[in-house]
Amino acid sequence: MSLFARFLKIASLASAALLAACGGGGGGGGGGTPVTDTGFIKAALTDASACGYNQVNVTPQKLRFNTSATAADTDPTWWEIPITSGKVNLLTLTNGTVLELGQVQVPVGTYQQLSLVLAANDATTPLANSVVPVGGTETALGMPAALQSSLKIPVSIAVTKDQISDYVIDFDACNSVLRLGTSGSYNLSARLSVIQRLSATGTNPDSTGKFILYPLAAGTYDLVISALAAVPAVVTGVTVTATASTDVNTNTTAINPPSSAVHTISGTVTTGTTPVDARITIIKKYTGGPNITTAGAPADATTGLLAYTVSTAAPVRAPYVAGITPLVFSPDNTQPTGRYTVTATALGATKSTDVDATTNDPVVSFTFP
């Protein structure tokens, strides 16, 4: 597993695996059927890092749960949490910060559908869902017809008697906004994921660059640091447990990857559909592993164009050592040092190609299906 982080000098992270913290509230639903054995579903909302936007705003209205994986929106078997937060800038919900959505008492069982319902952009609230691009003004975020009713996520949430099942929804803003060419318009193509919350610790990076990635399921991770004009850096084998925090470094042992010259990977994705709904991922493959993601976002939804700036020098890596021990990075000098793998995912398929950006600006092309 990998954590993708954008890095600025000392280690400010915004992880694609980020999800987050704790809270309460009321709710209801379920078609009025009497039940005796119940538990609770509790939920919060957070965001992974976004690219190219000062704000990505949504207005959630309610969160719904159903034990049926095929239940329609109109079925009377939904249980729901009403949401009263109003308009939310997803870019404020990073690095352990969450919006508490509340909780609802539900019958015991396994819930297989989660549905996040957003307010519509209408005459009364034309900017209920919107974006503010860097250097631009607030613009309505279009909602394709398929998303007008709700944003659905297949889940498997087990609820046991008198217990709280606590989960966080990660709304990946970077990969959920489609830019429509030079029209100045944007569409929502939501990318959501769900993770169980195990504790209640979270914070934003402070002025020294201190970071907390939370919550993460117990396991072993590769921590990736990526920055413009610096080589990719990875800390391998970072262990995460459910009972304690994991310290990677301190502000006196900052992670500071070597600087590097850069080149641009550009190209086009063709899907035969409008808008073009394709996700691009830039991957650096270390000799002997791991393979890490250094960047990623949707292609332009109108033109299918993509462009990424990448470093050309040798990437570095360091093994994680338990305890606060200075990380020792070593370069991967395998030639060519500027080799990357570019992947495109669209129409349920993924294609990839290797490029060498060591001395020039590679151009790629993907055609789907």
φ and ψ of 90, to 5 deg: -60, -25
**Residue 133 · residue 54 · CB < 8 Å:** yes
For the entire predicted model, the pTM comes to: 0.74
The pLDDT of residue 181 is: 92
185 token code pair: 């318009």
Q: What are the pLDDT digits (tens) for 32-52? A: 445 567 888 888 888 766 678
Using CA atoms, how far apart are residues 114 and 168, in angstroms rounded to an integer? 11
Residue-wise burial string across 93-114, b where 16 or more C-beta atoms lie within 10 A, e elsewhere:
bbbbbbbbbbbbbbbbeebbbb
Q: What are the pLDDT digits (tens) for 269-281? A: 999 998 999 999 9
The pLDDT of residue 147 is: 61
Give the three-class secondary structure for 90: helix
Nearest to 359 by CA among 327, 294, 313, 299: 313
116 falls in which pLDDT band (50, 70, 90)? very high
Nearest to 167 by CA among 41, 35, 13: 41
Q: What are the pLDDT digits (tens) for 54-110? A: 999 999 999 999 999 999 999 999 999 999 999 999 988 877 778 899 999 999 999
